[in-house]
Structure formats: C-alpha cells, structure tokens
Structure 1
Amino acid sequence: MKYTGKRALVCGMAKSGIAAAALLQKLGAVVTLQDMKERDAVPAAALELEKEGVALYTGKNPDDIACEQDLIVLSPGIPCDLPFIEAAEAAGVEVISEVELAYRETTCPITAITGTNGKTTTTTLTGEIMKAVRPNTAVVGNIGVPYSEKVQGLADQDWVVAEISSFQMEKAKEFHPHISAVLNITPDHLNRHKTMEVYIAMKERVFAKQTAKDFCILNYEDETCRKMADKTAAKVFFFSSAQPLAEGIYLQDKDIFVKWQGIDEKLISVDELQILGVHNYENVMAAAAMGICAGVALDTIRQVLKSFAGVEHRIEYVATVDGVDYYNDSKGTNTDASIRAVLAMQKPIVLIGGGYDKGVSFDDWTKLFPGRVKHLVLIGVTAPQIRASAEKFGFTAMTDCETFAEAVDLCREKAEPGDCVLLSPACASWGMFDNYEQRGEMFKEQVRSYLQK
C-alpha cells in the first residue's frame, strides 16, 4: 500500500482531521494528529484514535516534527501560511488538504459543488437526485460529513457528491470531479484569503483538472461565474434565473425549462417546490443540471425536486408563536446569504445579526433594512460595524445584546402578530459558538421553549 510505513502528520482535531487521521491509519501510515488545543481539551474521538496507535501532538504548532514527515494533511481550518508548513514544503514534504487525501482514494465519479452561497442546499438536493439512481451515493465535504470518513465504503459504481469550500481547495492538487459547479461568487473569507482574486482562484480549482469529458455548471447571471466558462476545459452547462438560454436551464416567469443536448422541455413550476426564493430556484436549477449531466432521467429529477423540503439552518421555519413566524437562517454566515434571507421574507422582520468579523462590508445587506426590517438585534464583535453601516442608510431601530439568549428574548418582545423573527447573522459564529449549527440549535430550542409557556 502506498501509505504503509509512511509518516503522516494531520493538522486539526475537528471532524475532518479526525477522519483523515483514521483513514491514514487504516491505510498503514504512521500517523500523528496535531492541534493547538491542550491535551485536556482534545475531543474524545482523538483519544480513541490514540488507543489505536495514532500519536497526539497538542498545545502548539508542530514546528519540530513537520520536516520529518512524508505527508502533511491539513484540516480546512488550518491556514496554509504558517511557518511550519512553508518549512516542510521547502524540505520536500508534500502538503495536501483532507479533500485531496480522500479524492486519491476514490474510484467512483465525483460531483463537486462550490460557490459563496447555496452550497449546502444544492449539495443536499444533488445528493437526493443521485441517490434516486445510485443509492450508495456519499454526500460529503463542507456539508458536515468529512470526505475521508466515507471514502472507504465506496465502490466503483457508486457516486460522491461533495460540498467544497475555498479552504478545502487551498492544498488540492489533483482533485478532479466529473461534474463541477460554481454557484455564485461574492466577497467572503477575506480575512484568510486577503483578496478577491485569491478567493476566486480557490473556487476555480474545483474545475482546474477537468477535461472535455467532464461537465461544469455555472451561474450565467453571476459575472464572475460566467467568465469561468473561458477557463475550464469541461462542457459548460449554464443556469439562469433572469433570462432564457439557448442552451442550459433557466427560470422564465414561474417555470424552469431545460434546453440541453436534445432536451427541450419544462422541468417544473416553482409552485411545485417546497423551498422559497429566487436563490433557491437557482439551487434547484444547478442540482437538476448536475443530475442531467450524470444521466438521471428528468422524471426522476422532477419527483425529487417536488419532495425536497430544504436543509436545516437555511431559512428553516421553526415555529409560529403568538402570531409571529420564527426562521432559523444560522447558515447565513456572510452578507450575500443574509441578503437572500431578508429578500425571501414576506413579512416585517425582527432580525438578529452579527458575529465573527471576516473582514467584509455590510453595506449591501444593511441598505435593504429600511422598509423591510422592523428592528435589528445585534450580537458579537461585528455589532458596531453593522450599526455604523445601517445608520448610513438611515436605519436606526437597533439594539445591542450581550448574550444570544437575551437577543432572542428581545426579538420576542419587539415582534407583533404578523411579523417574523429571522436569525440571519451575516457573520460566522466563531467566538460565541462552536459553529453555525450550534447557533441555530440554540435559537430553535429557545423559540420552542416559548410554546411551552
């Protein structure tokens, strides 16, 4: 086996790192799993791996062992510009991402979905479409299931549907999906990537190794995505929410049509869908396009689209309390996602916003507030920035809260029958929460507690 006896360092003890270390250990490598956490704070899963022979390296960067390795695998949360990584590469050590590691062990076709927003919904829906014809399809990646965790259970005739983040592409080298998709590009993660040019370049890596035998799904209405058609060797399949296409899939009035390689017919009406908003119709078109490229029959795609109810934490209806609808959009971790959530609401909004600072402007989001948002409840370190941005557009109905529970309670006070309360922070959750899922679960739990009072 190619990893037998090889020294492998896996950096990061979150889900992806745990899965990568476990995979390498099963493949015969001599594995060290590293994290900046002190030993008393490492997850139980890491301690279980230690019992199976994986060495744990905790509390500091692995500067003293990095150059001794044959391979270093980075979890998505590990920045690539750390000194030990640069030193290891200079010494000839290969450094790859967890997704690249899993890809190298994959024998079945791969569909890879990236973009700033809509990835999780599109990945989940594409997974359901593929499962209708290939039941053992693995839905993995940034969606919350590490690719490395599932790869050993796959056979040649199966399929992988992977949600891919820009972080996961930083150290991807040979990653080659049969079908790729870039849904949209708006500013995000600039605290890590520094410039939009670098961010876009990371997204483009999803199709960098594709050939004329492959397919690339692109958003025709996103100028950055549309220009990517000139950068890929794959067959380009456009989708559009604004105009008919001579070839592709598009929304016209309330109907979605397909014109592609001999197909020329209506796929579905948006009235038949359970998910709301133009952004979700784009997700539907992208997922349908990927299904078509994979050879799934339109009737099968149509049935899956009709039954799909959306994903958790993305404009997720929670409950109606005293005539007020509550929606959990904790996955709205950037301004573009939260813009889509605000535009999807059909009632006056009491909005929770704020969180971790990713170094982006909030103006495109806050300029929508007048006439739509009744009151803004601010949390997290970005609260002053969001307040200043909103005031530029004449919006002043804002309150700062120290705790998340206080914020949700204040929303209940401010909302009246016929309003909606929307958690869509436009920021990452780090600092107050472990992840956006924890933030969303806390919101739902608190809302549901109101039903019991």
Structure 2
Amino acid sequence: MKTLNTYENKKVLVLGLGKSGYAASKLMKSLGADVTVNDRNDLSTDEHAKELRRDGVQIVGGGHPLELLEDVSLLIKNPGIPYTNPMVKKALEQEIPVVTEVEIAGLLSDAPMIGITGSNGKTTTTMLIGEMMKHSSFEPIVAGNIGTALTAIVQKATVRNAIVAELSSFQLMGTRSFHPHVAVVLNIFDHHLDYHGTVENYASAKARITANQTKDDYLVYNADSTRVVSYIAERSQAKKVPFSLNKKETSGAYVSGGFIFFKENRIMPVGEMGIPGEHNLINALAAVAAAGVCGVSPKDMANVLQSFKGARHRLEYVDIVQGRTIYNDSKATNIIATTKALHAFPNKEIVLLAGGLDRGNSFDALIPELKKAPIKAVLLFGETKKKLLDACRKATVPVIKEVENVEAAVPEAFALSQPGDVILLSPACASWDQYKSFEQRGDIFIAEVNKFR
C-alpha cells in the first residue's frame, strides 16, 4: 500500500457505518487521521462500532449533528447516502471534499485496477474477468460493489495483484482522481433516477470511471449503446477497446459466424457458453475485451466462458429438479433485468415468479416482453402483485396466480409446470417489502425448490 500523509492528524468524518464505512475508518485511522464515524442509527451495541472505539475512533450515532463538520478536512460517505443529506449538503457548502471509499482506495493501491460499471451485468462481468485474470501475469482480487470494500483490499494488495472492482454510479460519483488502468462500461439505462435526478447526471457519474484515464489506459465499452458511446467513449482519453454483438469490431471483441472473437483471434462458439442469454453474451464480450488487453490467452478465456455457471442470484442456474430447470434471478430488481431473463430461454416454456417492493412505477414496459416470451404461467407476490397482475392480463398470459410470497410460489410453480419447463424467479422488483435483501429472497427460493428433490 502506498503512503498518504495528507490526512495525518487531520479530522476525517466517515458518514455511514456500513461495510465501506467500517473499512474506510480503519484505514484512515491507520494513516494517522483523527476519525469520527457518524450514522443515523444507534450504534451503542454495534460490534464494528465497539471495535472502532477501541481503536480510538469517535462514534456518533442516532442522527447527523452538523457541528461534527467543524474543522473537518475530508468527508467519506457511504455510497447510498444521497447528496441531499443535510450533512453532505453542509459539507459541500463549506467546500469540504466529499468522496466515497473508492477514491481513497484508488489513491493508496499498489495494484493496477480493472473497474467495471454499467446499469446491468456488472457482477457477472466482474466475476468473469476475475476468473480470466487468474490466467494472466497478475493475481486477481475481486472486490468493490460485489463484496469486499476496496479500502479493505488495498491494505493487502501488492503490485503482483490486479484489483477487479465492480463499481456503482453511487460509488463513482464520489471520486475525484480515481484512475483504473482498465475501465469497462457495459450499458446505461434509466436506473437510479430517484438518486441522480436525470439520465445525464446518472451517465456523468458512470463517466467518472474514465475521467482520469490517459492514453496509457484502456476503456472497454459497449459500441452498441449510443448512450455509452456519446456520454462516455467519445469523451475518454484512454485507448478505446469496443465490444459489440452487431458489428465486427476488430479492435475489440465481437461475434462473427456464431463465434466469439477478440481482434483476429477466435475464442469459442457462442453455443458453448456456460450461462444462457444474449445479455450474458454481452457480458462475455466485455470480459473477453478486458482480459484480452491484459494478456489472457484465447484458450484460457474459452475455458472460463465454458465452465462459468453464473453469479449468485443473477440468472443463476440452480439445478434440474423433477425435470424442471430452475433459475434464480433474484437480483433482477427492475423490468430490464427481468426482460433479459425472459428471453434467455427461447425454446422452453417458463413459469415466472415475480413481484416485490412497490416503488410507484408501472409495468407497462413489461407487457410486450411478456407477450413475446414463451410463458406458461406467472405467480405474483409482494406489494406490486396487483400492478403486475394488470400487466399480465394485458399481455394475455395463460395462467396468472397471486400468492403470499416466494415460499408459497414455489409449490405452485411445480404444480403448474411439467418436465422440460423452466421455473424462473425474476421478480422485476426490489425485495425489501418482504425480505431483507435480494440475496435472502433468492436463498429462500432455492431452499423451497430443494424440498422437491
């Protein structure tokens, strides 16, 4: 880890004691900063808070007293905390730098970084690149939005490592000098507009991944996305490495004659990929392009793409149970993600499990996709089940049933399906109305499925 004396004996405020806040606090304290952690929740019994107190970190929970900003040199905020938060607004008014832990990690890392962002597909692409990089001259460490906080990783990463980091728009918006050697941008859809306000603001946050890149760095980008091209690629100073499903991008990754290529090198037949769906083919092309510029061989790329079975809860293949093929796509918390899942099985009949938190949106955009997909039945649960019921009726889905939750949906799915069908959990909604997380929702789905073995 590089040395950073900028904040030695300076006051640093960490806003939000989540995974990233805990790691950032530990790191800044080790750098000699006077660290205070502030969280809206009561932290009196929190184990991480107790540990930080023992390390000499001041802990303030139960609200956001603005006087904590006095003489503060840096505010490190949890990525999910909006910029409308009174503490953040006041810090910006006082011209206190407001960053996320990604910025600190970037300043300190000895290891080169591959950063991956996009509205959909980040986790799968990050995991694919991580697997492919095991066959490079680097020892990869997968981190960021996918799991371990970057400020925890940089303390042990060396020049022998490569950090493969999934990065959200929330994380990237809080960066200033962040500089990955390879930046990967998958797509830009109308996501998180409640946080960013406009698509332009959202795209601007995503563009931070390449803002400080130079001609010695690489931008791997989706040449089929007009938003990625216009908002990001055209403005980047890095070497551009495109990937495309529709064009023969000979300076990057593409599909030709049913084969995946990187530049002039044929990697493998599309049909031999271990994960289904056109969206996963796009993720594979992005991974091939990123791994390719890092020196991974076509053979090693092919081996990974053939053996990789998907990220947990992202169109995750579970098993064949009583002849039904089971997929857990609990991470599909929006219409676009569910649409991609529905079209991943063109030759199978699908029993779909959907529903969840009501965020006030309609599901009209899902109607034509429900019509096109080979759906046998839909099981609906959660706050949105009435809205989804209306969409399914308009799409003339043959069988529609309302159930209480995922637990109740699984036995109905087996009753309405037959061997050869796909049972697919792809909710198109967040989970928080009934479950703590999409992970918990997916785990419960798998546990219920296992009862039918």
With the length of structure 1 as denominator, give the TM-score of the two structures. Answer: 0.92
Unaligned runs of 5+ in 1: none
Indicate whether 1:174 and 2:177 are aligned.
yes
d(CA) in 2 for partners of 1:410 and 1:207? 47
Q: Deviations over 1:229-272 (max 9, x none)?
A: 2111111111111232343211124201222xxxx221211233
d(CA) in 2 for partners of 1:70 and 1:409? 56
Offset, 1:425? 1.2
Indicate whether 1:434 and 2:442 are aligned.
no
Residue number in structure 2 paired with 1:278: 278
Residue among 34, 45, 50 paired with 2:48: 45
Distance 1:398 1:219, change over 3 A: same
Residue number in structure 2 paired with 1:21: 25
Residue number in structure 1 paired with 2:390: 388
d(CA) in 1 for partners of 2:307 and 2:416? 35
Query: Residues 355 and 431 of structure 1 are in contact (CA less than 8 Å); yes or no, is this contact kept in structure 2?
Result: yes
d(CA) in 2 for partners of 1:435 and 1:103? 29
d(CA) in 1 for partners of 2:29 and 2:282? 41
Structure 1 stretches of 4+ with a deviation exceeding 4 A read: 357-361
Distance 1:211 1:272, change over 3 A: same
Instruction: Classify the secondary structure of the residue corresponding to 1:93.
Output: coil
d(CA) in 1 for partners of 2:398 and 2:65? 48
Residue number in structure 2 paired with 1:296: 296
Instruction: Classify the secondary structure of the residue corresponding to 1:245.
Output: coil
Spell out the pairing of 1:269-418 with structure 2 (5 A cutoff): 269-345=269-345, 346-358=347-359, 362-370=363-371, 372-395=374-397, 397-418=399-420
After superposing the two structures, state which structure 1 stretch, 150-159 or 428-437, moved more.
428-437
After superposing the two structures, state which structure 1 stretch, 407-416 or 66-75, moved more.
407-416
Query: Residues 113 and 164 of structure 1 are in contact (CA less than 8 Å); yes or no, is this contact kept in structure 2?
Result: yes
Instruction: Classify the secondary structure of the residue corresponding to 1:70.
Output: strand
Residue among 160, 176, 184 paired with 1:157: 160
Residue number in structure 2 paired with 1:243: 247
d(CA) in 2 for partners of 1:341 and 1:14? 31
After superposing the two structures, state which structure 1 stretch, 64-73 or 81-90, moved more.
64-73
Q: CA RMSD in A?
A: 2.1
d(CA) in 2 for partners of 1:147 and 1:440? 26
Residue number in structure 2 paired with 1:423: 425
d(CA) in 1 for partners of 2:434 and 2:427? 12
Residue number in structure 2 paired with 1:82: 85
Instruction: Classify the secondary structure of the residue corresponding to 1:187.
Output: coil
Distance 1:176 1:443, change over 3 A: same
Instruction: Classify the secondary structure of the residue corresponding to 1:306.
Output: helix
Offset, 1:322? 2.7
d(CA) in 2 for partners of 1:379 and 1:236? 44
| 1:293 aligned partner, one-letter code | V
Distance 1:354 1:120, change over 3 A: same
| 1:338 aligned partner, one-letter code | T
Query: Residues 134 and 159 of structure 1 are in contact (CA less than 8 Å); yes or no, is this contact kept in structure 2?
Result: no
After superposing the two structures, state which structure 1 stretch, 111-120 or 195-204, moved more.
195-204
Offset, 1:289? 0.7
Q: Deviations over 1:35-56 (max 9, x none)?
A: 22223674x3333223322222
Query: Residues 136 and 295 of structure 2 are in contact (CA less than 8 Å); yes or no, is this contact kept in structure 1?
Result: no
Residue among 99, 103, 106 paired with 1:100: 103
Offset, 1:172? 1.1
Q: Deviations over 1:90-120 (max 9, x none)?
A: 2232210121121111122111111111111
Instruction: Classify the secondary structure of the residue corresponding to 1:191.
Output: helix
Instruction: Classify the secondary structure of the residue corresponding to 1:104.
Output: helix
After superposing the two structures, state which structure 1 stretch, 302-311 or 217-226, moved more.
302-311
After superposing the two structures, state which structure 1 stretch, 47-56 or 333-342, moved more.
47-56
Offset, 1:195? 1.7
Distance 1:28 1:423, change over 3 A: same
d(CA) in 2 for partners of 1:271 and 1:188? 31
Distance 1:193 1:404, change over 3 A: same
After superposing the two structures, state which structure 1 stretch, 347-356 or 80-89, moved more.
347-356
Residue number in structure 1 paired with 2:124: 121
Indicate whether 1:217 and 2:223 are aligned.
no
Query: Residues 136 and 294 of structure 2 are in contact (CA less than 8 Å); yes or no, is this contact kept in structure 1?
Result: no
Distance 1:119 1:321, change over 3 A: same
Unaligned runs of 5+ in 2: none
Distance 1:85 1:398, change over 3 A: same
d(CA) in 1 for partners of 2:160 and 2:73? 32
Q: Deviations over 1:345-403 (max 9, x none)?
A: 24222212222345655333332223522222223333333333344434474333333
Q: Deviations over 1:193-250 (max 9, x none)?
A: 2221211111111111111111111112222123232111111111111232343211
Indicate whether 1:187 and 2:193 are aligned.
no
Identity of aligned residues (%): 38
d(CA) in 2 for partners of 1:151 and 1:25? 15
Distance 1:375 1:274, change over 3 A: same
Instruction: Classify the secondary structure of the residue corresponding to 1:356.
Output: coil
d(CA) in 2 for partners of 1:9 and 1:102? 16
Offset, 1:71? 1.4
Instruction: Classify the secondary structure of the residue corresponding to 2:352.
Output: strand
Instruction: Classify the secondary structure of the residue corresponding to 2:108.
Output: coil
Residue number in structure 2 paired with 1:7: 11
Offset, 1:329? 0.6
